[in-house]
Amino acid sequence: MVSPVRKGGLNVAQEAYITGIGMSEVGVRLTRSALGLTLDAVKEAIADAGLTLDQIDGVATYPGKMQSFLGFSPVSSDDLIEVLGLKTRWHIGAAEATAQLGAITEAANAVKAGLARHVVCFRTVYEAAALARPEEFPPLERRKDVSGGSQWVSPFGAFSAANWTAQFAMRHMKRYGLTREQLAQVALNDHANAALNPRAIVKKPLTMDEYMSARLISTPFCLYDCDRFTDASTVVIVSAGDALDEIKATPIRIAASAGSVERYSWDQAEWAGAYPTGRDLWKNTDYKPKDVDTVQFYDGFAFQPITWLEGLGFCEVGEGGQFIEGGKRIARDGELPMNTGGGQLGWGRLHGFGFAYESVVQLRGDGGARQIAGDPRVAIATSGGGPMAAALLLTRD
Amino acid sequence: MAWQRSRPRLDNENRAFWTGGAEGKLNIMKCNDCGGFIHPPREICRHCQSENVAPHAVTGTGVVDTYTVNHQPWAKDMEVPFVIARVALDDAPGVYLTTNIVNCPVDAVDIDDRVRVVFEEQDGIWFPLFEKVG
């Protein structure tokens, strides 16, 4: 379904909007509970939107509560509904979805269908705290009785998505000539932007020397190419277009979305999900890449934004490294400002939702020291780095 | 790599893959109707949805599709660095195996290297690793 844009034809009542954003304290090994952090972020988001709790009638999250390792996702939609005393008409919390931002797409579809008016969408991460408190949060068992997808990678020491993603990056180096100096621009750009974001865990810029001398994790990735476990909750509120009269904030329209998974197994996928998802996003809108004012690309690992640049057609496949070479084009004053809040390498591992949050900040002009110039109206937020991916096209109409 | 590898839980779909090494066989699930390979193994062919599938011993040769040198000790007894690779099998089109390239220095591995399977047994599981050929 092609969503109408700027000139006429836009039936606001049939659209879905992000109307509020909120975030808890962002840190490493926080002591406040995961549910408490989630509450903090919800309160901030509803205040931002100008709503009250009794107006919230939907909840969406990714990936839902993960009992296998609670640090990865400690709070369920049911937990939140219970502690907020909500009377919901629609809710979801699902790992079997296109990717993190898929939860926001689901919420958008729900409000468009009239199933809810105002949906709290949240992603709470608690991995740093959980690893520091193993008696409360038993670590994921990786050593015996592994099953499902894990059995095909863990026995070979490929425990981490760093190993899986690194292999895609190595192929890009061999096939297309991607260099470590090009890859470094993602981390350097993230650190420079995070230094201007008071909520980011990174407080200062990174130099190329520091990057090149950092210890290796999994070639070509060094320490600065990998996000780090973070404790935080990020919330966006998705509202129905016919409920905007209840909102005080500038609404940001979810103008299009896309998501995909071709092979669920990381090691069977020929290409990252960014490629099919990126192509599909443009089929769902009549905006074009040239209309985009800022991109907020998932960067759990520094290689992933390169796949998004190529997948979304900002450059040809294989040219992502050249696109970011030197870092000028993706800087805040460049032609395509990227990860203006610091991305996950600078802000923290907010796991996808931070990109939607920062898109809203920039489109509203609320970025303070990190605000991009001009009058940004179109942003792309993405999530997912392996074979699953999701993308949102967000506009201030 | 002296560390104790993660031990897969055996079931009807994966048993032939993880135990075939006892007979020197690298077993990949194959469809007897369309001839396609199914990996990870399932009881239904992902190409034609036939249920007439069975493990098939492939030659065990292939090429390094891509790789990474892992430097991070993810487990306490893990000796680093070592090579994690994705091997494309010569005679099972479309199937990749995540594995380790062994019996050579970590900096001797590159994309497109020809490799062959060598099995490492731990506790009844025969892990298919690969070494360079020639």
Q: pLDDT category, A68, cuts 50, 70, 90? A: confident
Using CB atoms within 10 Å of the CB of residue A153, give its burial: 0 to 12 exposed, 13 to 18 middle, 19+ buried: buried
Helix axes A304-311, A180-194, angle to 10 degrees: 100
| B79 lies in some domain | yes
pLDDT per position as a tens digit, A140-176: 776 778 999 999 999 999 999 999 999 999 999 999 9
What's the confidence (pLDDT) of residue A144?
A: 78
Q: SS in 3 state form for A113-126?
A: CCCCCEEEEEEEEE
| Model pLDDT for residues B10-53, shown as the tens digit of each residue | 999 999 999 999 999 999 999 999 999 999 999 999 999 999 99
Instruction: Look at residue A6 and tell me whether its pLDDT is greater than 60.
Output: no
Q: Which of B9, B74, B111 sits opposite A147 (nearest CB)?
A: B9
Residue B36 CA neighbour count, 13 Å, CB half: 16
**Does position A139 have pLDDT exceeding 90, yes or no?**
no
CB-CB contact of A299 with A155 (8 Å): no
Report CB contact under 8 Å: A268, B96.
yes
Query: Could you give phi then psi for residue A275, rounded to 5 degrees?
Result: -70, -55
- Is the per-residue pLDDT at A7 higher than 90? no
What is the average pLDDT across A31-43? Answer: 98
How would residue A87 be classed by pLDDT, with cut points 50, 70 and 90?
very high
* Residue contact A146–B7, C-beta within 8 A: yes
% chain A with pLDDT above 90? 92
Judged against a pLDDT cut of 90, whether residue A393 lies above it is answered with yes
CA distances from B77 to A147, A232, B1, B5, B74 (A): 22, 31, 9, 10, 9
Residue-range domains of chain A with CATH: 12-140+160-395 (3.40.47.10)
Structural domain boundaries, residue B116: 15-132
Q: At what angle do helices A34-49 and A77-84 cross, to 10 degrees?
A: 70
In a domain, B114, yes or no: yes
> What is the predicted ipTM?
0.98
Helix (H, G, I), strand (E, B) or coil at B28: strand
Q: What count of CB pairs under 8 Å joins A to B?
A: 112
Mean pLDDT of chain A: 96
Work out the average pLDDT over A239-247. Answer: 98
Q: Which residues contact B31 (CB under 8 A, 6 or more apart)?
A: B37, B38, B45, B47, B48, B50, B52, B53
Domain count, chain B: 1
| Residue from B7, B19, B47, B66 to probe the interface with A (highest A Cβ count within 10 Å) | B66
pLDDT at residue B1, as a whole number: 52
Q: What is the pTM of this model?
A: 0.96
Look at residue B66 and tell me if it is in a domain.
yes
Q: Which of A260, A337, A274, A334 is nearest to A306 (CA)?
A: A274
Distance (Å, whole) CA A228 – CA A217: 12
Burial A21-33 (b: 16+ CB within 10 A, else e): bbbbebbbebebe
pLDDT of res. B2: 64
- Report the alpha-carbon distance of residue A385 to residue A305 in Å, rounded: 9
pLDDT at residue A8, as a whole number: 57
User: Between chains, do A216 and B69 touch, taking CB under 8 Å as contact?
Assistant: yes
Candidate from A160, A168, A171 with C-beta closest to B74: A160
**What's the pLDDT tens digit per position in B96-130?**
999 999 999 999 999 999 999 999 999 999 999 99
List the single residue in B with minimal CA-CA distance to A216: B71
- Can you tell me the mean pLDDT for B54-70? 98
What is the reported pLDDT for A193? 98
pLDDT reported for residue A1: 42
- Residue A9's pLDDT is what? 78
Q: Distance between CA A141 and CA B96 in Å, rounded?
A: 25
- Please answer yes or no on whether B40 and A268 come within 8 Å at the CB atom: yes
Residue to substitute from A140, A151, A221, interface B, most B β-carbons within 10 A: A151
Residue B10 covered by a domain: no
Q: What is the mean pLDDT of residues A184-189?
A: 98
Whether residue B4 lies within 8 A of chain A, CB to CB, comes out as yes
